[in-house]
Copies of this chain bind each other. A is one copy, B any other.
Amino acid sequence: MGLRYSDYYTVPFYECDVNQDMRLSALLSLALQVSGKQSQALGMSDEIIYEQYGLIWVVTEYTIEINRLPRYTNKIKIETEAISYNKLFCYRDFVIYDEDSQEKLLTIHASFILMDFKTRKVHPVEDAIVHVYQSEKRQKIEKSPKIPEITNGENLEFWVRYHDLDINQHVNNGKYLEWLYDSLGLDFLLEYIPKYIQLKYSKEIHYGHFITSTYEKDGNKTYHRISSDLGQHASAQIEWRKRENKHVL
């Protein structure tokens, strides 16, 4: 187990959806901001890693378990811990609590790699970088569930626009999640909320590409694929439950 770090946050109106729930894409960004703060506090900020090693952190997979989503004006606590690492991957958990740490709202398990900024290739994990988190070194690489292939999907198609890009000059991780959701449409998203999400990133997306966000429903599950002329960029599976109190529009 590694060092823990936590921070508090009050959910603003502009990070909420039509259901008054905080957007998961915003929550993923916030989580990364908190782990960035921990790294900075431990003297191993993103800037230092970039300047000294030419490396950047890249998320390769998220597994999210949701009891309930934070809502507009809720004060939440975000706790993070760099759990373990191996030759290629680092694993980090985020747990979102209510203000008093009484209720666990959701947990996010994230896999990271270090990428060479110039070559865009995976770089082996450097002990010199990760030792500050006091996380455990393990031999074994985590195996995540296989996401079923989509055989008969529905498509949402669009161009990557300027505001889809982030400070790292590619499409932000959180944006992929928005694209998965967008493909499902308003009626579905007013009626269902996610309870489990597995989201795997396979290839970066840059400006000006034509994107297809494909989904297939199977009972209370949906399967997703984000693709372009360059192939598959991400895949996901989401398990849904019916919203108890439907928000009336």
Contacts and interface: CB of A to CB of B under 8 A. Distances in A.
A161 B163 CA distance: 14
Interface in A135-193: 156, 158-159, 161-163, 165-167, 169, 172, 174, 178, 181-182, 184-186, 189
Contacts of A162: 17-18, 178, 181-182, 184-186, 189
Identical copies in the complex? 2
A50 interface: no
Contacts of A43: none
A54 interface: no
A53 interface: no
A77 interface: no
A231 interface: no
Contact of A167 (B13, B26, B185): B13
Q: Which of A14, A26, A32 has the most CB of B within 10 A?
A: A14
A166 B14 contact: yes
Contacts of A128: none
A18 B165 contact: yes
A12 interface: yes
A11 to B, nearest CB: 10
Interface of A: 12-14, 16-18, 20, 23, 25-26, 29-30, 32-33, 36, 72, 156, 158-159, 161-163, 165-167, 169, 172, 174, 178, 181-182, 184-186, 189, 207-208, 249
